[in-house]
Structure 1
Amino acid sequence: MAEYSSLLSDLSENITNEDLEQLKSACKEDIPEDQSNNITSSKEWFSYLEKNDKLAQDNLMYIEHIFEISRRPDLLTRVIEYRTTVLKISEDDEIDTKLTRIPSAKKYKDIIRQPSEDEIIKLAPPPKKV
C-alpha cells in the first residue's frame, strides 16, 4: 500500500491546476459536473475515482486511459512502471488481459529510458589542422 500511496503522491506533484482541468474534462462522462466543480486538487480527483471504483491499488486501467487521451505520457509511464515493478504484471500479462493502452505506453517508456553504453554513438575527434 505504501508504494500505491507513493505513486499517487508522485502523480499529484506532476499535475498542475491546468492539467487537473484537462483530466477532469477527460472524465466528464464519469464525473457529474456538479461534483467535478468540487474537485480542486489532484488528490481530491484520485480520492473521487477511488470512491467510485475507478481507481484502486491493483486497478489502474482507468487513469491509464485518462492519461493517454489527455496526452500525458510522463504520467502514463509512471503508472506502467508501478504496475510492472510493484504489481509484477509483465508486458506479456498485460497483453493477455487485453489492456489496450500497453502498445502506446511501451513507446513512451523507451523514450524516457537512458541509453546503455553500447547504444551511445561515439564520434571521432575532429581532424587536426595542418
Structure 2
Amino acid sequence: MAEYSSLLSDLSDNITNEDLEQLKSACKEDIPEEQSNNITSSKEWFTYLEKNDKLAQDNMSYIEHIFEISRRPDLLTRVIEYRTTVLKISEDDEIDTKLTRIPSAKKYKDIIRQPSEDEIIKLAPPPKKV
C-alpha cells in the first residue's frame, strides 16, 4: 500500500492545475459536471476515482487510459513502472489481465528509451540550387 500511496503522491506532484482541468475533461463521461467543479486538486481527483471504482491499488487501467488520451506519457510511464515492479505484471502477462491497457503500455515503452546510433535515421543534405 505504501508504494501505491507513493505513486499517487508522485503523480499529484506532477499535475498542475491546468493539467487537472485537462484530466477532468478527459473524464467528463465518468464525472458529472457538478462533481467535477468540486474537484480542485489532483489528490481530490484521485480520491473521487477511488470512491467510484475507477482507481485502485491493483487497477490502474483507467488512469493509464486518461493519461494516454491527455497526452501525458510521463505520468503514464510512472503508472506502467508501478504496474511492472510493484504489481509484477510483465509485458507477457499484459495480454491475460484486465489491469492494463496493452496499446498504451507498448506504445510509450519505446518513447522512454533513447534510440541507439544505429536506429537514428540520417538525412542527406538538400540538393544545391544551380
TM-score range, shorter chain: 0.7 to 0.9
TM-score by length of structure 1 reads 0.82
Of the structure 1 ranges 105-114 and 80-89, higher mean CA displacement relative to structure 2 is found in 105-114
Q: Deviations over 1:17-74 (max 9, x none)?
A: 1110000001001100001000000000000000111000001011011111111111
How many aligned residue pairs are there? 130
Q: CA–CA distance in 2 between the matches of 1:127 and 1:64? A: 45
Of the structure 1 ranges 96-105 and 20-29, higher mean CA displacement relative to structure 2 is found in 96-105
> Following TM superposition, by how much is the alpha carbon of 1:106 offset from its aligned partner in structure 2, in angstroms?
2.5
- C-alpha change, 1:26 and 1:121, in structure 2 (3 Å) is closer
Q: Which runs of 5+ in 2 are unaligned?
A: none
Percent pairwise identity: 96
CA RMSD of aligned residues (A): 3.9
Question: Residues 108-127 of structure 1 correspond to what in structure 2 (within 5 A)?
Answer: 108-113=108-113
Contact residue 49 and residue 55 of structure 1 kept, 8 A: yes
- C-alpha change, 1:121 and 1:69, in structure 2 (3 Å) is closer
Of the structure 1 ranges 29-38 and 120-129, higher mean CA displacement relative to structure 2 is found in 120-129
Contact residue 20 and residue 41 of structure 1 kept, 8 A: yes
Contact residue 73 and residue 105 of structure 1 kept, 8 A: no
Match of 1:86 in 2: 86
Q: Which runs of 5+ in 1 are unaligned?
A: none
Q: CA–CA distance in 2 between the matches of 1:20 and 1:122? A: 39
TM-score by length of structure 2 reads 0.82
